[in-house]
Chain A
Amino acid sequence: DTGVSQDPRHKITKRGQNVTFRCDPISEHNRLYWYRQTLGQGPEFLTYFQNEAQLEKSRLLSDRFSAERPKGSFSTLEIQRTEQGDSAMYLCASSYTSDTEAFFGQGTRLTVV
């Protein structure tokens, strides 16, 4: 296993378009997290899955954002009707339990023009 994998690495989209990102966690990790990082800031928690269940969502996650993890393996994060304020690095992390170390993927950098 090569770690947490995210795709695409970069995405440029026009305002108003929909985008979808994918995260493949480390295979034995049943916990998966999405974070967002804007320039000059630390990552901020967006949402959390345990297996296929989405158990927590941050208030940062507006109605335009939706995340899924249909089979408890990979996860997708979709942003509808993108806005310039959505431009950020979207990071995925996975862990074996809530107390063990979380490993981060390379991130998807979104630019909305």
Chain B
Amino acid sequence: ELKVEQNPLFLSMQEGKNYTIYCNYSTTSDRLYWYRQDPGKSLESLFVLLSNGAVKQEGRLMASLDTKARLSTLHITAAVHDLSATYFCAGLNYGGATNKLIFGTGTLLAVQP
């Protein structure tokens, strides 16, 4: 079964700095999802990456996918306090009755002024 690992688990950043969250996965998964979760809230979809080399950008966030390395990255540019949240990556696990999302443990991002 697919396993998904994220690092770091916790990231404290200063406003204006850049950083990258890494997501490694164990078996073939040709699509990768990034979600944001605010405390006590549900999951907000950020990006769906569908193919090798896919890159998507929204505001200060940019996600990429390398299926050969089984690696996705979420890059944060010039962080602002509003980006403070937990970020999850998830791969699509093929098998069983359906494809299902398998999530990493999340990266808690705290952006300090």
Contacts and interface: CB of A to CB of B under 8 A. Distances in A.
Bin the interface of chain A by size.
20 to 34
Given A42-B104, A104-B42, A106-B41, A99 B33 contact: no
Given A56-B96, A101-B48, A42 B42 contact: no
Interface string B88-102: 101010001111111
B43 A48 contact: no
Contact of A44 (B41, B48, B99, B103): B103
B29 to A, nearest CB: 12
Interface residues of B, number: 24
Given A104-B42, A107-B42, A109-B40, A56 B97 contact: yes
A101 B45 contact: yes
Given A40-B105, A42-B88, A44-B103, A91 B42 contact: yes
Contacts of A105: 42
Interface in A81-108: 91, 93, 98-99, 101-107
* Residue among A43, A44, A99 having the largest count of chain B Cβ atoms under 10 Å: A43
Judged by DSSP, the binding face of A is: strand
> Chain B at the A interface: mostly helix, strand, loop or mixed?
strand
A42 B98 contact: no
B28 to A, nearest CB: 14
A91 B43 CA distance: 9
Given A42-B103, A42-B105, A98 B98 contact: yes
